[in-house]
Amino acid sequence: MGFKLYYVISLIAALLSLQTSLSRAAVNGGYWLPDSGLEASEIDSTLFTHLFCAFAGLNTANNQLSISSECSSFTQTVQKRCPSVKTLLSIGGGNVLSSDFNKMASQPASRKTFITSSINVARSNGFLGLDLDWEGESTSTEMTNLGTLLTEWRTAINAEAINTGRKPLLLTAALAVTPRLYLSNATFPTQAIAKTLDWVNVMAYDFYAPNNSPLFTHSHAALHDPTGAASGSSGISAWISAGVPPKQLVLGFPFYGYAWKLVNPNNHGILAPANGTDTSVGAPPGTLIYSQIKEFIPQKKATVVFNSTYGTNYCYSGTTWINYDDTQTIAAKVSYVKTNNLLGYFAWHLAQDNNWALSKQASQTWRS
């Protein structure tokens, strides 16, 4: 009797684990930075399925991963409030030069050292995955090296899982909004990406900034763009056309905005004439996090607009015009993610939220 029951339970367990390996778990994600002013213990981890600790560095002298004490204790800290939340260690971002990543990725020996080190660091600090944030890849050589790195990384991760009898670590990467870079025309190694990554975090923001597009107001993170310019949805479509399926794509949204200076305070739509950065607000000048924008609005009696054609918010007061994601934009983006059967969404980054309003909106829309 006892043996039979054990047999049935193991069979069910085996079927369940097969089921989960076939259907990827949804991603309600967010990045946390240790020096952002938000303590890890303050994170409302019940609002997320996955949290990214950003960033581990690359020691260029020996190609080992370097991790801060805040990231070392991150998993334990955030799982106190929500034991089921999964954590990933993000590598790079502003901490690693593109040329340093490329140097490591260009040689078999340095790749091997880096990969082994990353798996050891993830396992010994309780992370369930690794997330590559190699920012600023721009040449086709870098793209090729990235593809080789990802392929060897996946092989090593699978081998480690078999050797230890554990579930393989997750492997993800934060990548540009389109698989083809606009300036250099270099293309991401989409085949290797589709084969090796659990998913891509698509960085669907920073399409414009007042200092590089000074003459007209723009949405820097529009979900759509009727003029055919960069947008979240066109980027996602391009990744899908390039061979990365929807269930491997996670849409990113920003918890910050940019301020343009209007030429005429009475002409305040998207693509209204502008005169560069409004340096009277934000830090650095013209850049405001969501919580600052929510202070600016009542202080300056600003008008808030949600433009559903673009899927973006902006607010204006006098000649100050700020483009950002408010709750309506977040709801529209999460609905888009659901309708198009993407894997999920992520926020960059948690400390910029205003009392969890955007994170809560995202989670609510996901569940509705």
Ligand X SMILES: *[C@@H]1O[C@H](CO)[C@@H](O)[C@H](O)[C@H]1NC(C)=O
Residues recognised as catalytic: 135
Question: For residues 267 and 320, what is the distance between their CA atoms, to the nearest angstrom?
Answer: 11
Q: Which is nearer to ligand X, 225 or 353 (CB)?
A: 225
Q: Tell the smallest beta-carbon distance from residue 305 to ligand X (Å).
A: 7
Q: Tell the smallest beta-carbon distance from residue 326 to ligand X (Å).
A: 15
**Helix count and strand count (H, E) for the chain:** 11, 15
* Interacting residue ranges for ligand X, rule: CB under 6 A: 185, 263, 269-271, 275, 307-310
> Phi and psi at residue 129, in whole multiples of 5°?
-165, 170
Q: Tell the smallest beta-carbon distance from residue 190 to ligand X (Å).
A: 13
Beta bridge pairs of residue 287? 258
Question: For residues 304 and 141, what is the distance between their CA atoms, to the nearest angstrom?
Answer: 45
- Helical H runs in the chain? 2-22, 69-72, 74-81, 98-105, 108-124, 140-164, 190-196, 232-241, 290-299, 327-339, 357-367
Q: Which is nearer to ligand X, 60 or 275 (CB)?
A: 275
Question: For residues 207 and 303, what is the distance between their CA atoms, to the nearest angstrom?
Answer: 23
Q: Which is nearer to ligand X, 238 or 263 (CB)?
A: 263
Q: Which is nearer to ligand X, 216 or 356 (CB)?
A: 216
Q: Which is nearer to ligand X, 149 or 272 (CB)?
A: 272
CB-CB neighbours of 20 under 10 Å: 10
Cα 366 to the center of its chain, rounded Å: 17
Q: Tell the smallest beta-carbon distance from residue 333 to ligand X (Å).
A: 16
Q: Tell the smallest beta-carbon distance from residue 312 to ligand X (Å).
A: 8
